[in-house]
Structure 1
């Protein structure tokens, strides 16, 4: 894409202090997101997806810290910002939708007061009554039935789908420029999941925001995104337009993820799985981190050297020494 990106993450490195040493959970991650674009970040649990975003937004727990790199949002380096400056951005210019709304929402505050809290924090001139009325309007916008009554209820009185809708209402309250949805449908059944994805799509269209979807669900990636970033062991291993990623993937990890998807037009049988386990970040293998699980490696000496992201096609990059050996994926 052309033009200045809305969010540019460059060479980000994040470490955690743990018993017995230091874990590098994010290791040199770089990517761009442009205004109005929908980008998916995908990978197995522990690949560094959420930690990358939490690093950029200053939301790491006390044991974690960014040790290198930058995350520029609209030209401002988030990593260099103080907490007070970040608080002015989070909830106003950057909206967040977390995986588990039951833990993200405050259990002792009504849902309406939590929606109006963000409105008043970022709009000091807005009175309590005006914020409460706008909160009801926002709950109605995200499909909460009887919003005036529901605004007075607590999170435990909402279903899982309704709690997620409330989280989206909070995220969109100040019409942010970027919405980050971290596994927003993981705990929901397929019907509610479809409704939430439709809602996120509509909210993005109405606000004109860029949307970042963090997920392990390739179906969500295929349905929602224009571009996909694949992460493994704290690094970006492939980035491409969603069609290229699904039908002409260049990294064996991306191919393995796609091949593990069930297909409606194939006979039901045992799905192929990726052998082995993701590596322990304290003891990463030499060279390519995917090497021990990679069918393409076969003990090749080149795989003992860590591959860098290289251009493999238009707006398509992969970190594999043998990316030219990839063939079309049946997905």
Structure 2
């Protein structure tokens, strides 16, 4: 990508305090997001996707803390900002669509009041009447029927898809430069999921915002993103454009994820599965964290040393000592 990144995360390390010690949840994560682009972060549950974003935005629970790294956004290190200053960034310059709108929305406030709250907080001099009118417009823009009446209702009166639409309205209210969508289609049926993804595309086109999609759904990644970041055990293990990720993946974890997807044109009796379990973050294996589950490693000594991200092609990096063997695997497949 040309030009300066909008968001640049460098060497991010996040820990959570637990009884008897600490759990390293994010281990040296670095990536860039450029203006107007769509980036996907993918990985199994517990890989550190959401924690990475929550760390950068100062939204960790009290047990979590960032111990190293930077998160530069528009020339400012978000990790160095006071909470008061961060509140001016969140909701105005960065919009966040939370994973579960039912718990993210305040159950004792009307949906309209929650949309208007963000408008008035970040737009000085906006009157209550003007905020209420703009709220109705936003709800209409995200496809909520009868928005004037719906604005007076509470979150429990909305369906799951409508709550997610309301979250998107809140995220886009102040036309942010970056929208982060954390599992935006979780627990939605495929029809509503398609509508939400279409809505996110439209919102991005209208606002010109960059979009980060955090998900474990590779179908969403293929449909929505231009560039993909694959995480495992709190680290970035591969990053590439979406075509290279799906057709020329170099890390065995990425390839294993792709092989576990059902394919309409290829009938099998049983889908391949990744053996074993994700590692305990308190007791990560020596070297490559994926080593105990990796069919490429096979006990090789090099895998006892943690691999850095190797450049495997233009804009393509993979954290595997034997990334070149992926080409042989493709030929023999």
Question: Is TM more than 0.5 here?
Answer: yes
Equivalent pair of 1:255/1:329 in contact (CA under 8 Å): no
1:78-126 CA-partner distances (Å, limit 9, x unpaired): 0001100000000000000011100000111111111000000001200
Identify the residue that residue 214 of structure 2 maps to in structure 1. Answer: 214
Gaps in structure 2 of 5+ consecutive residues: none
Identify the residue that residue 5 of structure 1 maps to in structure 2. Answer: 5
Structure 1 residue 310: deviation in Å?
1.3
Structure 1 residue 272: deviation in Å?
0.6
Are 2:111 and 1:111 equivalent residues in the alignment?
A: yes
Identify the residue that residue 177 of structure 2 maps to in structure 1. Answer: 177
Identify the residue that residue 120 of structure 1 maps to in structure 2. Answer: 120
Equivalent pair of 1:241/1:316 in contact (CA under 8 Å): yes
Identify the residue that residue 318 of structure 2 maps to in structure 1. Answer: 318
Identify the residue that residue 69 of structure 2 maps to in structure 1. Answer: 69
Q: What is the rounded CA distance, in whole Å, between the counterparts of 2:283 and 2:7 in structure 1?
A: 31
Q: What is the rounded CA distance, in whole Å, between the counterparts of 1:187 and 1:109 in structure 2?
A: 23
Aligned pairs for 1:72-87 within 5 A:
72-87=72-87
Identify the residue that residue 44 of structure 1 maps to in structure 2. Answer: 44
Q: What is the rounded CA distance, in whole Å, between the counterparts of 2:63 and 2:19 in structure 1?
A: 11
Q: What is the rounded CA distance, in whole Å, between the counterparts of 1:146 and 1:329 in structure 2?
A: 56
Structure 1 residue 329: deviation in Å?
9.7
Equivalent pair of 1:247/1:329 in contact (CA under 8 Å): no
Identify the residue that residue 54 of structure 1 maps to in structure 2. Answer: 54
Q: What is the rounded CA distance, in whole Å, between the counterparts of 1:143 and 1:268 in structure 2?
A: 40
Q: What is the rounded CA distance, in whole Å, between the counterparts of 2:189 and 2:101 in structure 1?
A: 15
Q: What is the rounded CA distance, in whole Å, between the counterparts of 1:159 and 1:14 in structure 2?
A: 35
Identify the residue that residue 204 of structure 2 maps to in structure 1. Answer: 204
Q: What is the rounded CA distance, in whole Å, between the counterparts of 2:102 and 2:299 in structure 1?
A: 46
Q: What is the rounded CA distance, in whole Å, between the counterparts of 2:19 and 2:317 in structure 1?
A: 36
Aligned pairs for 1:1-331 within 5 A:
1-327=1-327, 328=330
Aligned length: 331
Equivalent pair of 1:248/1:329 in contact (CA under 8 Å): no
Alignment partner of 1:164: what SS? helix
How much is the aligned-residue C-alpha RMSD, in angstroms?
1.2
TM-score relative to the length of structure 1: 0.99
Q: What is the rounded CA distance, in whole Å, between the counterparts of 2:78 and 2:38 in structure 1?
A: 20
